[in-house]
Amino acid sequence: MAEIIEGDFRFTFPDIWVNKLDDSTFYREKMKLVSNQKKAVEAVFNPGNSLCFLEVKDYRTDLAGLKTDLKDRLPKEVAQKWQNSISALILGGRTEIVGVQFDESEILTPNIPMQYYLFLESPPTTPGGAATAIKLRTQNELSSKIENLGLKLNSYLKPFKCPVFVCSRQYPAPNQPFTVTLI
């Protein structure tokens, strides 16, 4: 069983290979130098015969930031991190530095399915309208914007045959290959 910690969350992966790509020495020391790339996804993992990406966004205390980011910044950032991660996997696999359990030919082949999980935690809702929670009307609007984010991301990555699943602790993705706990 593999685990990674990202912010206040523990992601547990049952008996699969996981690489915290964004924190790897290879990414920090090599990829950022040669390509001026800012960030990669939080983790890359392999549940069987697929290549999966995990990006984590925690907006539990930042409703205003979430609303702003959903409009334009977040879709582009998520797609860019995927592109940066693919580059790192290919180059890291070629130099045998990343510890990738694929060689570059397997990553480039259309036979290996890819999936992208955007774990997006938004502010909680409560019927009483507590100060830290958001009102139900706002939650419905937010849910619609998050759904639109998923559609937009899927349209960005569709040519690359990489479906995107927007998920959270409350709403896991179908057949999600990891569990999440708040720490």
Chain centroid to CA 56:
5
Let me know the angle formed at the C-alpha of 158 by 152 and 163, rounded to the nearest 5 degrees.
Answer: 80
Written as tens digits, the pLDDT of the chain (183 aa) is 889 999 999 999 987 778 787 777 777 777 766 666 667 888 888 787 788 899 999 998 888 888 888 877 898 889 888 888 887 777 766 555 545 555 445 555 667 888 999 999 988 765 555 545 556 566 777 788 888 899 999 998 998 889 999 999 988 999 899 999 999
Find out whether 38 and 28 touch, Cβ atoms under 8 Å: no
Please give the model's pTM, rounded to 2 decimal places: 0.84
What's at 16, amino acid-wise? I
Q: Are 22 and 39 in contact (CB under 8 A)?
A: yes
- Residue ranges making up the domain that contains 27: 2-182
* Antiparallel, parallel or unpaired: β 164-167 and 179-182: unpaired
CA pair distance 87, 151, nearest whole angstrom: 24
Which residues, in sequence order, are bridge partners of residue 119?
56, 167
Task: State the amino acid at position 164 in one-letter form.
Answer: V
Q: Give the E-state strand segments of 16-88 in sequence order.
A: 17-19, 43-46, 51-58
Q: How many domains is the chain built from? A: 1
Q: Which of 102, 104, 109, 101 shows the shortest CA–CA distance to 87? A: 104
- Look up residue 183 and give its two tokens: 């720490």
Using CA atoms, how far apart are residues 168 and 57, in angstroms rounded to an integer?
10
